[in-house]
Copies of this chain bind each other. A is one copy, B any other.
Amino acid sequence: MSDLLERLRGRGWRMTSQRRVVAEVLGGEHVHLTADEVHARAARLLPEIARATVYNTLGELVALGEVAEVSTDGRAKRYDPNAHHPHQHLVCSGCGTIRDVHMTGDPLAGLPQEQRFGFTVSGAEVTYRGLCPSCARGPGPDPGPSRAAGEGPEPA
């Protein structure tokens, strides 16, 4: 279940009761909880845990590459501990629920019936991630990357 704990310990991650609890909550295979849900569940095991600690911890797990962040449009991000097995997501536009799916080939061709979990699939979306030329030049002395995008004379 939680090789996650093992892996983290191996990486010299300082183990505390709250971190352990967060890692346990994220233990399963097809879990996609929001930070708030993680906090709620963690609090069932360790009542005093603070929301901020959960956010911090989740952030670290993401930075370590042990957990993946999934943004479902305007809703709160969800955290996916299944980061070690490549897979795709099927997101419900109504409630934000996520299911892991496993596609191959052209995603725009549709999702195989047995991977739909009863969902009415309306479409697929492909997003490439990377660094633009200017951000790739290293963080630099802070040119203020925050508000820069899309402004100005619009080179697009």
Contacts and interface: CB of A to CB of B under 8 A. Distances in A.
A119 interface: yes
A92 B135 contact: yes
A101 B133 CA distance: 16
B132 A97 contact: yes
Number of copies: 2
Contacts of A141: none
B132 A122 contact: no
B73 A145 contact: no
Contacts of A32: 150, 156
Contact of A131 (B92, B104, B135): B92
A126 B126 contact: yes
A126 B129 contact: no
Contact of A128 (B37, B69, B86, B111): B111
A77 to B, nearest CB: 7
B126 A103 contact: yes
B129 A124 contact: yes
Nearest to A97: B149
Given A106-B104, A129-B124, A95 B148 contact: yes
A16 interface: no
12 contacts: A37-B151, A71-B73, A88-B126, A88-B128, A90-B129, A92-B135, A94-B145, A104-B106, A106-B106, A118-B133, A118-B136, A119-B136
